A = this chain, B = another copy of it.
């Protein structure tokens, strides 16, 4: 192995890390979430935009409102997870660009004046940030259970507004033993990478 990242970290973030549906009861604190965010906020995006928004479903009332929107296969996992986070894209992210891109504040109006352009950019870049967030959850020694199987319109109406589109819901916690499926196959390098 010639990667600069040491093998223990490779295992923690990718090789041994698994999507799980069952967790130990141990809670996940706001301090842990802040450490995760303060690490992964540096992940690169287009024009340094930061469309990702995270809604932590902390209260019993909020959890009870979320569960009916989950698909049948995801409801029990979401009911039992120590922490549930709704990841969403802010389609009005361009308002922050003058602050986030001080050397090119014109980007806000030059590129993002039109809402459909913003929605496309917000969903793409919030997806990048969601992946960094999942890596960050693993960096904290926790497991993430990301899910797209839920009523997106229902979750938007219940927890967000017209300017925020849900991307995924992530269960977070310390994994229960034997909580993961056997690892499914991945496409090999030669199926994915070509040279021209």
Q: Could you tell me the distance between the alpha carbons of A38 and B53 in the complex, rounded to whole angstroms? A: 30
Q: Could you tell me the distance between the alpha carbons of A66 and B166 in the complex, rounded to whole angstroms? A: 35
A27 within 8 Å of B by Cβ? Answer: no
* Total count of chain A residues near the partner, CB < 8 A: 80
Contact flag A96-B6 (CB < 8 Å), given A124-B127, A148-B46, A196-B57: no
Shortest C-beta distance, A105 to chain B (Å), equals: 11
Q: Point out the residues of chain B lying under 8 angstroms from A17, CB to CB.
A: 42
Judge whether A139 and B196 touch: CB under 8 Å.
no
Judge whether B13 and A194 touch: CB under 8 Å.
no
Stoichiometry, as copies per complex, reads: 2
Judge whether B14 and A43 touch: CB under 8 Å.
yes
Q: Point out the residues of chain B lying under 8 angstroms from A99, CB to CB.
A: 185
Judge whether B196 and A124 touch: CB under 8 Å.
no
Judge whether B124 and A167 touch: CB under 8 Å.
yes
Residues of A within 8 A of B (CB): 1-6, 8-10, 12-15, 17, 19, 30-44, 46, 48, 50, 52-59, 62, 96, 99-103, 123-124, 127-132, 134-135, 138-141, 144, 146, 148, 159, 167-168, 181, 183-187, 189, 192-196
A-B contact pairs, 12 of them (CB 8 A): A3-B39, A3-B139, A3-B140, A5-B141, A14-B40, A14-B43, A34-B189, A41-B192, A50-B192, A52-B192, A53-B192, A123-B124
Excluding A6-B9, A15-B42, A129-B131, 8 further A-B contacts by CB distance (< 8 Å) are A3-B39, A5-B9, A5-B138, A14-B43, A37-B193, A55-B196, A124-B127, A127-B131
